[in-house]
A and B are shown apart, each in its own frame.
Chain A
Amino acid sequence: MFVAVTVILIVMLLGSVGALFAFSWAATHQQFENLEAAAESIFDADEPIGKPTDNFITDSHES
């Protein structure tokens, strides 16, 4: 039984510490700043905001 408790405790600790680490990393690396730019980060020059993209890459090469 002690093995089980130890394993579960270790998994829990790793999980919690990992989560805390991820959150604090995000906080200190400006992940929670300028959220509007974050939302727009998936767009780029070729697939900009305002252009629906259910078409594909070589599309613009053909007329």
Chain B
Amino acid sequence: MKPGNEPGEDFDTRKVHGAIIREKSEPSEKFRAAPWWLKHGIYAPLAMWGIWYLIVASGGFRWDEYSEGYFRTFVPETTEETTPAPVSNDPKALIAEGETVYTAVCAACHQATGTGLPGAFPPLAGSDWVNGTEEKIILPVLHGLVGEIVVNGETWNGAMPAQGATLDDRKVAAVLSYIRSSWGNSAPPVTPESVTTLREKFKDHAPWTAADLEAALAE
């Protein structure tokens, strides 16, 4: 038997051999990596798809863009396809069209009754904004409205997204005419031409703040 390093210590060769033999009886890899088909067949394709989808379906990473831009969401088309394109500029037709737009686009926040939601979304019924100058309501619809505003003496602090990209001039005029003649509001309807003029004048404007709006309307 071989002596060990310390005086009095020696190896028991049988014990050492026994341990070695036991070790051999079970094949073991120190590092069992992930199977290749898992890496190449599942991890990699998923990662590639994920990066691609994240880039193409994020609506340009805009905070005010709800539509992902690449695929349509599975919602039956509402105003665009099902409503036949009207020719008449008659206010009544405009208002009727406006009601469809309102239900599809605005009612989610401002409610079907135009009362808004306390603490969240200002009312449109009896609102001094709605019944005031038409620029004050056209511009927020086109470009969005953020920050503190005062409506009927109450302060609201929210974020209204822009609808100018998805609503053409006629639809903007229609929905605003509808709002201005509903729930007790009685302000004159908005014409598509007014919307066109303002859209040209403030092309690509960022979402408005109350201060910006005042300044723009003062000119």
Residues of A within 8 A of B (CB): 1, 34-36
Contacts and interface: CB of A to CB of B under 8 A. Distances in A.
Interface of B: 28-32, 157
B29 A36 contact: yes
9 contacts: A1-B157, A34-B30, A35-B30, A35-B31, A35-B32, A36-B28, A36-B30, A36-B31, A36-B32
A7 B61 CA distance: 23
Which applies to chain B's interface (DSSP): helix, strand, loop or mixed? Answer: loop
A36 B29 CA distance: 8
A30 B44 CA distance: 27
A36 B33 CA distance: 11
A1 B159 CA distance: 11
Contacts of A34: 30
The 10 A-B residue pairs whose C-beta atoms are closest, nearest first, are A36-B28, A36-B30, A35-B31, A34-B30, A1-B157, A35-B32, A36-B32, A36-B29, A35-B30, A36-B31
Nearest to A32: B31
Contacts of B157: 1
A1 B157 CA distance: 9
Nearest to B26: A49
A35 B32 CA distance: 8
